[in-house]
């Protein structure tokens, strides 16, 4: 039985290419079989969103993500350089008669406009990406963020995407790889983080960083080992030593890789996996329930 509280689960990985999106979309499909229309999949990997390739959603709404950047009125500006002096991000510079802005470096903090003694700086909106919403053919509520190519500020797009979590639904969040700010912004809005890894020294090293990030954020986490059977026992040994639950092992299997290459989830091409995927979510619910009993 699924837990009534419907915790939001993020799916992350220190290392890219370990099967994060395959697992997240497969989990969503399997859960939607049990709770039709009650599942939401949010793709927060805004630099390279891929969940749509596996879920084929019909996109119904598109919302641009905008950030503020400075616009200098050169007629009013006295070239005093106060803005450049106070900007912590080197996003604005006054060089002789020219004022240069570097939108990619800008944090949209508003300091330049605030300190300008003659009010020559206005803040204007600039689009950095888009949040798209729709529905997959089987009825999964789908959200994805896309960073515009050439823009480097993934974090505002990730934030806008992660805000779409609907706590009344079973929400699965596909986080970007790594452990830096966009990954943290994604997993922050979840109740539990599933870390997908592979049993290799690379997988282990990046898993350790991801676990440490979760711990600093006080977010409980568990592990899914993909391509189980290859590599080394390091990941299993690490999880045992640290008391981290291994929620699922997906074996190394060329036919799974081939199905993924065609854009198919595990739940679509290997229906025998559906029960095990639902069990993973149930185990997470059970864990959170026992934890809340312990802390209250």
Give the footprint of another protein on this chain (CB under 8 A): 13-18, 21, 47-48, 50, 53, 86, 88-89, 104, 107-111, 114-115, 147, 149-150, 152-154, 176-184, 198, 200-202, 205-206, 209, 212-213, 216-217, 227, 230-232, 252, 254, 257-258, 260-263
3-state secondary structure of 247: strand
User: What CA–CA distance (Å, rounded) separates 272 from 251?
Assistant: 13
Residues in the chain, total: 296
Q: Which C-beta is closer to another protein: that of 211 or that of 278? A: 211
Q: Which C-beta is closer to another protein: that of 100 or that of 217? A: 217
DSSP state at residue 105 = G
Where does 29-174 show beta strands of DSSP type E?
A: 39-43, 58-72, 92-95, 98-101, 121-135, 141-147, 170-174
CB of residue 71 vs another protein: minimum separation in angstroms?
Answer: 17
Q: How far is CA 32 from the centre of its chain?
A: 20
Q: Which C-beta is closer to another protein: that of 75 or that of 218? A: 218
User: What CA–CA distance (Å, rounded) separates 66 from 47?
Assistant: 16
CB of residue 22 vs another protein: minimum separation in angstroms?
Answer: 9
CB of residue 285 vs another protein: minimum separation in angstroms?
Answer: 26
CB of residue 125 vs another protein: minimum separation in angstroms?
Answer: 14
Q: Which C-beta is closer to another protein: that of 8 or that of 158? A: 158
DSSP string covering 188-229:
HT-SEEEEEE-SSHHHHHHHHHHHHHHHHTT--EEEEEEEET
CB of residue 13 vs another protein: minimum separation in angstroms?
Answer: 8
Q: Which C-beta is closer to another protein: that of 76 or that of 232? A: 232
CB of residue 159 vs another protein: minimum separation in angstroms?
Answer: 10
DSSP state at residue 230 = B
User: What CA–CA distance (Å, rounded) separates 47 from 159?
Assistant: 13
User: What CA–CA distance (Å, rounded) separates 101 from 198?
Assistant: 43
Q: Which C-beta is closer to another protein: that of 36 or that of 110? A: 110
Q: Which C-beta is closer to another protein: that of 143 or that of 211? A: 211
Could you tell me which of 288, 263, 285, 290 has the C-alpha nearest to residue 31?
285
CB of residue 73 vs another protein: minimum separation in angstroms?
Answer: 21
User: What CA–CA distance (Å, rounded) separates 178 from 12?
Assistant: 8
């Amino acid at each position: 039985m699924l837990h009534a509280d419907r915790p939001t689960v993020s799916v992350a990985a220190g290392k890219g290419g370990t099967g994060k999106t395959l697992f997240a979309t497969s989990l969503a499909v399997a859960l939607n079989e049990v709770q039709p229309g009650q599942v939401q999949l949010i793709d927060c990997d805004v630099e390279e969103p891929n969940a749509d390739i596996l879920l084929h959603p019909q996109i119904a709404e598109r919302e641009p993500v905008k950030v503020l950047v400075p616009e200098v009125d050169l007629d009013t500006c006295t070239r005093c350089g106060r803005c450049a002096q106070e900007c912590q991000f080197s996003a604005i510079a006054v060089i002789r008669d020219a004022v240069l802005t570097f939108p990619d470096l800008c944090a949209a903090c508003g300091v330049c406009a605030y300190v300008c003694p003659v009010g020559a700086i206005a803040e204007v909106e600039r689009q950095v990406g888009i949040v798209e919403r729709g529905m997959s053919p089987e009825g999964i509520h789908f959200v994805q963020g896309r960073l515009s190519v050439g823009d480097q500020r993934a974090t505002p797009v990730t934030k806008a995407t992660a805000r779409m979590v609907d706590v009344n639904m079973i929400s699965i969040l596909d986080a970007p790889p790594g452990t830096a700010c966009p990954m943290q912004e994604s997993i922050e809005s979840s109740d539990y983080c599933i870390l997908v890894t592979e049993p290799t020294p690379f997988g282990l090293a990046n898993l350790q960083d991801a676990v440490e990030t979760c711990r600093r954020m006080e977010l409980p986490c568990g592990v899914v080992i993909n391509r189980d059977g290859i590599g080394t026992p390091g990941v299993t040994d690490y999880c045992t030593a640290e008391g981290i639950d291994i929620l699922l092992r997906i074996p190394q299997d060329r036919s799974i890789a081939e199905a993924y290459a065609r854009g198919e989830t595990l739940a679509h091409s290997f229906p025998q996996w559906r029960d095990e995927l639902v069990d993973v979510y149930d185990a997470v619910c059970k864990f959170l329930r026992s934890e809340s009993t312990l802390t209250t």
